[in-house]
Amino acid sequence: MKNRHALFALITVVGLVADQCTKLYIDRSIQLYQTIPVVDNVFSITYIRNKGAAFSFLSQASWRLPFFVCVSLVAAIAILVAFRKLADDQKLAQVSLAMIFSGAVGNLMDRLRLGEVIDFLDVHWYRHHWPAFNVADSLICVGVFLLALDILLEEKRRKPRAGVKGQGAGR
């Protein structure tokens, strides 16, 4: 197995363990909808269950579970295909895809096991709350950010520097 595959597997496993262990701990340690302030008026642990996607998207749709399971499976397959196409030196893209894959599988596991996703990270400014999220969501968001950064850096590396081509002209 190549180093890049080992890296992908390691990130996936570490991400899944962190995600599932934190969700299991929350589920067993606090009551549903209970809030534990961590940093007053900024961050709390609040146990909720989300039947939808981000921002409870489609949480009331009767067909939501099969839809989200299918979307998660298609996304996971697409990530694996994209990973296979990466060059060995594209480390940031490899890490990014592994993080996104791990997060997608973590939330998929919740959907298959519970029919919904456990969320508990509650960022807020006094009464203004960002929707609660979990470790899997964090992995997906950070992975997407790093992938976008990698795309921008790759584009910059491929662009010829202005003036380099034309330096020898006219001599």
CA distance 159 to 69: 40
Q: What is the DSSP letter of 55?
A: G
CA distance 171 to 4: 47
Other beta carbons less than 10 A from residue 148's beta carbon: 11
CA distance 31 to 164: 64
Q: What is the DSSP letter of 168?
A: T
CA distance 33 to 11: 31
* Helix-, strand-, coil-residue percentages of the chain, each rounded to 5: 60, 15, 25
CA distance 63 to 110: 17
> What is the set of active-site residues?
119, 137
